[in-house]
Amino acid sequence: MVCFRLSPVPGSGLVLLCLVLGAVSSYTLELNLTDSEKATCLYAKWQMNFTIRYETTSKNYKVVTISDLGNATYNGSICGDYQNGSRIAVQFGSGFSWIVNFTKDVSTYSIHSISFSYDTSDNSTFPDAEKKEFLCEKDKTLTTVVPTTVPSPTTTPTPKEKPEVGSYWVKNGNGTCLLATMGLQLNITQDKVASVININPNTTHFTGSCHSQTALLRLNSSNIKYLDFVFAVKNENRFYLKEVNISMYLVNGSVFSIGNNNLTYWDAPLGSSYMCNREQTVSVSGAFQINTFDLRVQPFSVVEGKYSTAQDCSADDDNFLVPIAVGAALAGVLILVLLAYFIGLKRHHAGYEQF
């Protein structure tokens, strides 16, 4: 049980707030918020009662305890994001509201502030009260010491189905210059925990630019500041995915940014498109990879807004290169051995001739 003593206007009254968290048989309050991906982002189950001392019309004080919060509503509760922390807001009874703001520090959530407001003009709850409204707010320095026993906003790993396939394009003066169709799944590893996030094309905005040697496709959404795919031309005749940069807001409110401009994925001849229906992984860094599904891209030489013939990724299954390389190396060794043998033989032979 955690109790807070809140004092509104100095000397006028006092609120004692007790919170019971954890194993209590009958909870009165339960909040389950989900994010846009339908994953639970904040879950809280708790019980609380308030003891309020208030001033009466006869300049005395009375104490009232409110433990039955009746039908509470949770309007204004938010999961929180990069800008706003998590917030639990509860409204109950006649004009009571209780708002807790959380802040997150590495892995510990703590209460940033608690505010409780009540209206003493409700004379069934506050008989004989001086007509005053109160808003009390807990002093910040005190509330931040609240330990992790506060109802922590929790993240649950979202179930990982295949991401939906989105169609993206970029236009320049001459019409469509870049085409991409793909299902994207981001895999971010932090503190040895991988979070897998599917990109929902319905809520993803895209833009980009095309130049003769490079092309950019940039995606963004409410939680992705940007996800850039930069394509380049090599040897004047092929294109490839050269660079990926991402900056996104994680559920815990932190910003995750990473990039790599030294990639070589999705390599195909200019004038064609690159296609891969099976799941493929673009490994941007140890902490960030993108799984692609039903991929088709053409970042250059798009004619009339349509894909050109595709080079399929089965062609870049470079497994067969390994046996060839090993075979070539073995052949090299064999030639060296034979050479050594013949040289040795010749020397040997030459040695005999000297006698």
Ligand X SMILES: *[C@@H]1O[C@H](CO)[C@@H](O)[C@H](O)[C@H]1NC(C)=O
Strand 238-249, strand 224-234: pairing? antiparallel
Q: Quote the CA–CA distance of 123 and 249 in Å, as a whole number.
A: 47
Q: Rounded CA gap, 126 and 142, in Å?
A: 28
**Choices 70-78, 240-248, 332-340, 344-352 (CB under 6 A): range interacting with ligand X:** 70-78
In the list 103, 200, 280, 308, the residue contacting ligand X (rule: CB under 6 A) is 200
**Neighbour tally for 142: CB within 10 Å:** 13
Entry field: residues in the chain: 355
- The answer to whether 273 and 297 are in contact (CB under 8 A) is yes
Q: State yes or no: residue 26 binds ligand X (CB under 6 A).
A: no
Count the residues of the shown chain that bind ligand X, applying the rule CB under 6 A. Answer: 44
Min dist. Cβ of residue 47 to ligand X (A): 6
Q: Does 25 bind ligand X (CB under 6 A)?
A: no
Q: Is 1 in the site for ligand X (CB under 6 A)?
A: yes
- Asked whether position 154 contacts ligand X by CB under 6 A, the answer is no
- Cα separation of 216 and 169, whole Å? 10
Of 2, 21, 72, 196, the one binding ligand X (CB under 6 A) is 196
Shortest Å distance, C-beta 49 to ligand X: 4
Using CA atoms, how far residue 277 sits from 187, 267, 296, in Å, is 19, 15, 8
- Separation CA 232–CA 216 (nearest Å): 9
Q: How far is the CB of 168 from ligand X (least distance, A)?
A: 13
Closest separation in Å from C-beta 100 to ligand X: 8
Alpha-carbon gap, residue 332 to 322, rounded angstroms: 15
Quick check: 298 binds ligand X (CB under 6 A)?
Answer: no
Do residues 1 and 164 touch, judged by C-beta distance below 8 A? Answer: no
Q: Does 205 bind ligand X (CB under 6 A)?
A: yes
Helix-then-strand count for the chain, H and E: 2, 22
Distance CA 115, CA 122 (A): 19
In the complex with ligand X, the residue whose CB is nearer, 75 or 141, is 75
Q: Is 329 in the site for ligand X (CB under 6 A)?
A: no
**Binding ligand X by CB under 6 A: which of 57, 108, 190, 222?**
222
Q: Which candidate, 102, 100, 99, 140, places its Cα nearest to that of 118? A: 99
Q: Is 214 in the site for ligand X (CB under 6 A)?
A: no
Stretch that binds ligand X, among 186-194, 228-236, 293-301, 325-333 (CB under 6 A): 186-194
Question: Minimum Å distance from CB 354 to ligand X?
Answer: 52
Q: Is 291 in the site for ligand X (CB under 6 A)?
A: yes
Q: What are the φ and ψ backbone dihedral angles of 344, each rounded to 5 degrees?
A: -60, -45
Cβ–Cβ under 8 Å, residues 51 and 64: yes
Residue ranges binding ligand X (CB under 6 A): 1, 18, 20, 32, 34, 40, 43, 47, 49, 65, 67, 70-71, 73, 75, 81, 83-84, 87, 99, 101, 113, 115, 123, 127, 137, 160, 164, 172-174, 187, 189, 194, 196, 200, 202, 205, 220-222, 262, 289, 291
